[in-house]
Structure 1
Amino acid sequence: MILKSKQNYQKIAMSAGFYPENIVNAIDELIKEGIVESKEGEMRLTNKGRQKIGDMPFYLFSEIDLDLLKAKLELAIKNMPDAHLLEYQWWFTCDTCIRLLGVLTENILLSNPKIAFIGAPILALAFNYAFPELEIYIYDISQTILLYLEGKLSSTCKCVCIDVLNETKDEASNVKDNYFDIVFMDPPFYVEHYVAFIKLSNRMLSYGGDLYSTIFNENIKTNLRERKIIFNEFCKNFTFISMLNNEIFYNVPRFELNTYKAMGYNSEDISDWRYNSLLYMKKNSYYSNEEDINIERGIWNEYCFNKKRIFVKTSISNCINIEIGDWEIKPLYNEDCILKSVSRRYSERDKISLWTSDNEVFVVGRKGLALVNEILTELEQNNKIDLSTLEVKYGIDDCDIHKFIDKLEEITYGR
């Protein structure tokens, strides 16, 4: 668990170069008065302590029906639209969500805390299932995922679609400054994402608020310079309290599973190998909005068919030119259609014009991209496709458009 013992405060103080004797002495006084007790290296409130504080509604992990919570959460995850690599979606395992629920509830001392989850929609859902009366905001890049969650959340929850890395002016207006008591963030494993998530968390948290952030483990391929940038950004506005090491685990999404299989791994060899640590910090400054909003985004259209999500480039100007027929749709690689990496730095990504949540990647001919978007829009809305109108509009013959639609249906509904 996250340690809150007197010895831990001393270790943190020494590593930071100062000695907060007032904190240590205050803990001693609380122990003498029977307000708190030391148990297994942690400080916990006693019954006397709870009575002394009064009628404050504590959020007790021990009072949660964990079997029911886990069953509801597993069902929600099973029916959720697929994660997509384009949005860097690795989601916590169900057991990790329950573990984190216990960690967060131990530190809640406010009667009605306002909590924000950034990039952690599954954990937010678990928290809402456990405490449906709490005010919770869920910030996530995927409108599809948020729409799915809205049907399962209580009325005290609000979902906000935001691309933290490329925040638009409209998205910025939906962020509450200096408002939240607790922020939990789970950034992708890239330095620019961490910096953007930290800045957003600083903006959202009230003075003295709690920030929980996943942080990559020592085996993740980040260089010393990148780690220094991230921790320097944390240190600008936050004070480190403690750390939970290597206990945050992630499910393997379909796109990653398919990539491993394409690389020759057996499915039984692929497990939930991704794991992180957790940082717990306090905000030590007020936020002032002096920074410009980042550039606009939007070069992809998204479609969803029975959980399978498909992203298509909005225009041919956003695609690297590849020599194929005007009305062709073909895999990025000649041998198969699975992208050979889940890394953001993989150079082949720039050639993709159609990308599924199974990590299938395709290129589309110069004239075909607009037609792909129009057909997928009609299919998603269950509208009848008027072939004769499309033939006239795009100047495509009857044989080619049938091949085109057959290929799209294979991509859309195949598994």
Structure 2
Amino acid sequence: MRVLALTTLAIGLVSAATYPKPKKINVQVGDRPYYLVEDMDAGALKQKLQSCSEKDQRQSDFVIAHRGAPLQYPEHTKESYLAAIRQGAGTIECDVAFTKDKQLVCRHDQCDLHTTTNILAIPSLAAKCTKPFVPANPATGTRASAQCCTSDITLAEFKTLCGKMDGFNPLGTTVAEYMAGTPKFRTDLYSTCGTVLTHAESIKLIDSYGLKFTPELKTPVVQMPYQGTYTQQQYAQQLINEYKKAKIDPSRVFPQSFLIDDIYYWIKAEPKFAKQAVFLDALVDTPAGYVNATARLPQLKKDGFKIVAPAFFALTKLAADNKTIVPSEYAVAATKAGLDIITWSFERSGFLNKGGDYYYQYISKVINNDGDMYTVLDVLAKKVGIRAIFSDWPATVTYYANCMGLMLFN
């Protein structure tokens, strides 16, 4: 089976690479996986997962921490990464954006500081935002708005921020009300003041545990070349250079981008790192785009692409019986072309008792409880043959990966 082959490959890569002596960590998955398993419909998969309830947990290459563990921790903060590491993620993601002085930092979007940090609560920095805070006006129905970018401030200024749970209240009439917008399926319990990180700091932290890296070069919101001189290629190269400076073996790095030209650049300029470059395929988001994305997969393989990564909704569909989840046309075509598949993002959908959301759109008819996410994960792992999956709560996938013996570290 493809999964078993990938398991063997992963173990080979681990043994061949040179790692620093990692910090010892006792992987813990907490009680959420058990809740999800108990919530599943009766069947063989539920029984299998129940049989692993007392199994010791280990870190797994099948598990990628999506922004850390942002289901409960402020994304891309030290605290979020440490939670993800404790939960067994074998690879940690730093989404990479640049500051006004062209330094790389971990942020999901170049312009999300107004929803992921406390920048609006710091008047001197809020004044520098691309679009300052505008309160909601109930009389006119105008919603609150703001836009604050990493490129609005220097690295030194960025480091004074506190990370918070991503969210905003569009009806807020004050900064405090606007910032209090955490989705109800998350929590502010660990959001007192998340420690924001530079890309280099994230490398040092992840390396200290001997884990792998998947930095995403975020698509710039500002016009490039930035300030007339900083090009997209310089930005892409700077990301790679920070791993070289830290003496990280390329086999441990999975650079990502939604921009296809970034992948082509790495293939040409940094072939060792490009061997594991991940093309985040957003073309699948529309019906016409899905058809075109599927059709171009053989050409991507010919051009040197190794890994494609669409959102996981694009990898499954319902069979003719309208009940059975099976691999999609895209998934079948990617496998046929010889491309590995990574997908995103698990545990990002909130409650699944009403069919799920974006991530479950093609199979929503058979989604009716939170436990169904394990049913979908099982199809992705065993039928689609994904190499790994991003998760907002890595413990959920770690539990499954350990139970099924998927891509474990020695």
- TM-score, normalised by the number of residues in structure 1: 0.28
Name whichever structure is richer in strand by fraction.
1
Higher relative contact order (CA 8 A, sep 6+): 2
User: Computing the radius of gyration over CA atoms, which structure comes out larger, 1 or 2?
Assistant: 1
